[in-house]
Chain A
Amino acid sequence: MDKKKLLNARSIDITLNRLAHQLIENHDNFENTVLIGLQSRGIYVLDRLVPILEQFGIEKVANGTLDITFFRDDFRRRNSPLEPSMTKIDVLLEGKKVVFIDDVLFTGRSVRSAMDAIQSFGRPAEIELLVLIDRRFSRELPIQPDYVGQQVDSLAGDRVSVEWEGQDASENAVYLEFAENE
């Protein structure tokens, strides 16, 4: 399978810094804002955004992680069910501005599930979506991101993967793997 590097460690750094600035533009001192990393891969983006925001003088960035397994729309349709990960949300979200953080936006189905799941913690005043990679033209639902690291044009069979230093790779990188031609 052909594999192309879309972003290297340095460009991911620059992108994350830009996304942090855009968040500050809209959320000021984050007084009423909660960042929610979507399990399982969105939490790595969250883990890197929070220190950058703190570096820019935001004192307290309320955040948590949300697992959407029990809210998926493909339960009893998949061959093997997905294993749930930890949800950790210690604040009530009633009236808060929530920003979902994910690594790759593809069909939009995870985000739809997340919008359902988040209601268990109260009714947010608004929900925004931040993604590192937006695979535009692949959406199956009417969902668009508010903050985008990079847009990628890809076919449905292609694979976009984000690798993180210390998790699954020696350095941060984003790859696009092309589907085999038949």
Chain B
Amino acid sequence: MSELSVNHLLGIKYLKPEDIELIFQTAAQFKEVINRPIKKVPSLRDLTVANLFFENSTRTRLSFELAEKRLSADVVNFSASSSSVSKGETLIDTVNNILSMKVDLVVMRHPKPGAAYFLSQQVDSIIINAGDGAHEHPTQALLDAFSIREKLGSLNGKKIAIVGDILHSRVALSNILCLQKMGAEVEVCGPSTLIPKHIRSLNVRVSHNLRETLDWCDVANMLRVQHERQDLKYFPSIREYSRLYGIDKALLDDLEEKIVIMHPGPINRGVEISSDVADSDQSIILSQVENGVAIRMAVLYLLAAKRKISFSA
């Protein structure tokens, strides 16, 4: 297969394992491209991409923008703080306005779950979900899974732990779906207040003991404590969270197996992960960032390939 089964990237939920495999294979080639002396290919030179960020983001936006520019696409950026959303315009009106300016692809982050799906039903454009509320963040899950596979050779049968704030995390849900589709086993670990009640319906293991989780897993993905999403206190203090659910070097060295440490960023150093762990040779945090650009190039390229060029009026 050399074509995706989907026309948009709305969530991992809609992807088949073969789609994920195709994205990985293509991303591996783009990873070589971004390590060339001249890191650019002309594939998307006749396409325009709009990055619509209705919610703050630095790295995801930067990563998407780099991916688009490396593919030679024209790029326009839009962020909620500087837009007419604050003046009361609806999502469809905002996007239709932008599409009238002949935009081919839309990369969107939005605080409401399902916003990307809703948009894909309403407008004629390729939609890529760059995060919709606490729902999905498919490119992050793809780059995480790609990074694990690069490090361990395969995902099949591997044991992956996702530690921390599962409740507010779109990274967690997309990761669980993606890893399971590629044959890995997933355990979530965190304080019971930060683990959603029905998470077991996704067939994941649940733990509240970090040490037991680390003894079990091959890879630990340490999620960030999302202070900004927490409208009430989910744990007594940062210090207590860090003692119970943070990894430091002493804990890492005490484990029998040499596990892989991941973090989607931005890191709260000293909270979920200590500095010496983040910078250790077991951490693949920076290769996650590099792979992020390659994965996003692959997604953009494969979705654009499905939109055939038309010379009729």
Using CB atoms and an 8 Å cutoff, list the residues of chain A in contact with chain B: 67, 69-71, 75-77, 80-88, 92, 116-117, 119-122
Contact residue among A70, A83, A88 (Cβ-Cβ distance under 8 Å from B42): A70
Q: Mark B22-54, 1 if CB is under 8 A from A, else 0.
A: 000110010011001111111100100000000
Interface string of B292-305 (1 = CB under 8 A from A): 00000000011011
Beta-carbon nearest neighbor of A85 in chain B: B29
List the 9 shortest-distance A-B pairs measured between CB atoms, nearest first: A70-B41, A84-B29, A120-B38, A81-B305, A76-B309, A120-B36, A83-B2, A70-B43, A80-B3
- Min CB gap B168→A, angstroms: 37
Given contacts A70-B41, A120-B36, 5 further A-B contacts (CB under 8 A): A76-B46, A76-B307, A77-B309, A92-B37, A120-B38
B38 is contacted by which of A69, A86, A87, A121 (Cβ under 8 Å)? Answer: A121
Using A81-B2, A82-B2, A87-B32 as known contacts, say yes or no to A75 and B40 having CB atoms under 8 A apart. no
Q: With a CB–CB cut-off of 8 A, which chain B residues contact A88?
A: 32
Q: Give the complex CA separation of A75 and B306 in angstroms.
A: 10
Kindly provide the distance from the CB of A96 to the nearest chain B CB, expressed in whole angstroms: 13
Give Cα A75 to B41, complex, Å: 12
C-alpha gap A92/B38 in the complex (Å): 11
- In the complex, the answer to whether B2 meets A120 with C-beta atoms within 8 Å is no
Contact status A75-B38, CB under 8 Å: no
The answer to whether A69 and B29 have CB atoms under 8 Å apart is yes
Q: B67 CB to closest chain A CB, in angstroms? A: 13
Distance of A83 Cα from B38 Cα, bound (Å): 22
* B contact residues, total (Cβ < 8 Å): 23
Query: Residue of B at shortest CB range from A73?
Result: B42
Main secondary structure of the interface of A (DSSP, over half): loop
In the complex the two chains form, is B25's CB within 8 Å of A83's CB?
A: yes
A77–B36 CB distance below 8 A: no
CB closest residue in chain A, given B72: A70
8 inter-chain pairs at a CB distance below 8 angstroms, sorted by A residue, are: A70-B41, A76-B307, A76-B308, A83-B26, A84-B25, A84-B29, A86-B32, A117-B41
Query: Judging by beta carbons under 8 Å apart, are A76 and B305 in contact?
Result: yes
Contact partners of B42 in chain A: CB under 8 A: 70-71, 116
Contact A120 B25 (CB under 8 A): no
Expressed in whole angstroms, the Cα–Cα distance for A84 and B2 within the complex equals 10
Q: Which residues of B contact A122 (CB under 8 A)?
A: 37
Within the complex, what minimum Cβ distance (angstroms) separates A58 from chain B? Answer: 26
A71 to B308, CA, bound (A): 17
Distance A122 CA – B38 CA, assembled complex (angstroms): 8
Q: Nearest Cβ distance between residue A43 and chain B, in whole angstroms?
A: 15
Chain A residues near B40 (CB-CB < 8 A): 120
Contacts of A82 in B (CB 8 A): 2
Q: Which residue of A lies closest to B4 (CB)?
A: A81
Measured CA separation A117–B38 after assembly (Å): 10
B307 partner residues in chain A, CB cutoff 8 A: 76
Task: Chain B residues near A83: list those with CB within 8 A.
Answer: 2, 25-26
| B6, chain A: closest CB distance, angstroms | 15
Q: Which chain B residues border A87 with CB–CB below 8 Å?
A: 29, 32-33
Q: How far is the CB of A90 from chain B (nearest CB, A)?
A: 11
Alpha-carbon distance between A114 and B46 when the two chains are bound, in angstroms: 20
Q: Find the residue from A67, A84, A86, A119 having the highest chain B CB count within 10 A.
A: A84
Interface centre among B37, B302, B304 (most CB of A within 10 A): B37
Across the interface, which residues of A come within 8 angstroms of B43, CB to CB? 70-71, 75
Q: How far is the CA of A71 from the CA of B40 in the complex (A)?
A: 10
**B contact residues around A71 at 8 Å (CB):** 41-43
B276 to chain A, nearest CB (A): 34
Q: Enumerate chain A residues within 8 angstroms of B37, measured Cβ to Cβ.
A: 92, 120-122
What residues on A are CB-neighbors of B308 within 8 Å? Answer: 76-77
Q: A81-B3, A120-B38, A120-B40 are in contact. Are A75 and B25 (CB under 8 A)?
A: no
Report how far A82 CA is from B33 CA in the complex, Å: 17
